[in-house]
Chain A
C-alpha cells in the first residue's frame, strides 16, 4: 500500500515567514508533485519533480520553491508567506514506468497565513 505522508495537517503562519511543507513517500516513486487546492479552482500544479535534484515549474510556481535532495522526500518552500497563499496543499507521487500512472496523494496540509 502506497503511503504518502505530509508533515502537518494544519499550519498557521504569519505574513513574511518562511514556511516548509514536507512530503515523504515510501514506494520508491520517481515522480512527486505539489498542488494547491482552492474552492472552485480544483487542483493546480505548483511544481513537480521526476528525479532527485530535478524540478519543473507547474502552472503557479510564483512565490514557491521546492527541494528534492532524496528520492522519497519533496519539500515545498514558501520563501515569504503571504495571505493569498492560504490554501490546502496536496503532495502526490507516481511511478514513471509504463506510461501514465496513478497519482497517490498525501492527506493534505491546510495552511493559514495571517
Chain B
C-alpha cells in the first residue's frame, strides 16, 4: 500500500504559538488529503481536507497546504489553545476509495 510518513510524532507548544505537522507520500495518483483529530478516548474526527486541485485551504485557526510536486502536505494550527491537544492523523486517498493514514502526531498545548 501507499506509504504516508508523518512528522513529528510528538509536538509540544506553548498556548498561543503555532503548530505545524507535515506528511509526505509517494503515490502521485493521490488526490484527496484529509486531516483527522482524535482526542483522548474518542473517535477520530475530520477537521479539514483538501483536494489535489487546490494548494491551500483555511478554516479559522487551521489550514492545510498541499505541494503535489514535492508530494507533501501540512497542517497548520495558529493561536493554539489547550483544547487543541490531541492526536492528529493525516490521510490520503486515490481512485481506489482506499484511505491511507499517517502514524499520528501527539500535540500538547501547554497553558
Contact = CB atoms under 8 A, between A and B. Distances in A.
A31 interface: yes
Interface residues of A, number: 25
B9 A40 contact: yes
Given A41-B103, A43-B89, 19 more contacts: A35-B101, A40-B9, A40-B103, A42-B89, A43-B44, A43-B91, A44-B101, A45-B98, A45-B100, A48-B98, A90-B43, A90-B44, A99-B32, A100-B51, A100-B97, A102-B49, A103-B34, A103-B99, A105-B43
Contact of A42 (B32, B51, B103): B103
Interface in B1-60: 1, 6, 9, 31-32, 34, 42-46, 49, 51
B102 A42 contact: yes
Interface string A1-18: 000100000000000000
Contacts of A64: none
11 contacts: A40-B104, A43-B91, A48-B97, A56-B98, A58-B1, A58-B98, A100-B34, A100-B93, A102-B34, A103-B46, A105-B44
Nearest to A105: B43
A106 B28 CA distance: 30
Contacts, number: 54
B1 A59 contact: yes
A44 B104 CA distance: 12
B45 A105 contact: yes
Contacts of B93: 100
Interface of A: 4, 31, 33, 35, 40-45, 48, 50, 56, 58-59, 90, 96, 99-100, 102-103, 105-108
A57 B58 CA distance: 34
Contacts of A44: 101
B104 A42 contact: yes
Contacts of B1: 45, 58-59
